[in-house]
Amino acid sequence: MFVHETILSLLATWRQQGRNPYEELCRVVSTNEMISRAHAVPAVETSG
């Protein structure tokens, strides 16, 4: 679910910025700009 939410967030952000989501996604993938899940900041802290 984490990947799906991240991609949807990226697409929405690029649309709001007036960018072409398809072109931006191609650029990010081709330049390997995606960060790994291990380096991502969790959206919600979990206890336990």
Q: Helix, strand, coil shares of the chain as percentages rounded to 5?
A: 60, 0, 40
**44 falls within a domain:** no
Domain that holds residue 7: 3-39
Instruction: Quote the number of domains for the chain.
Output: 1
Q: Say whether pLDDT at 29 is over 60.
A: yes
Model pLDDT, residue 47: 61
Determine the Cα–Cα distance for residues 46 and 14; give it in Å rounded to an integer: 29
Model pLDDT, residue 41: 61
pLDDT in tens, 31-44: 776 666 666 666 55
Determine the Cα–Cα distance for residues 31 and 48; give it in Å rounded to an integer: 37
**45 falls within a domain:** no
Model pLDDT, residue 35: 62
- The three-class DSSP label of residue 4 is helix
**17 falls within a domain:** yes
Determine the Cα–Cα distance for residues 36 and 48; give it in Å rounded to an integer: 23
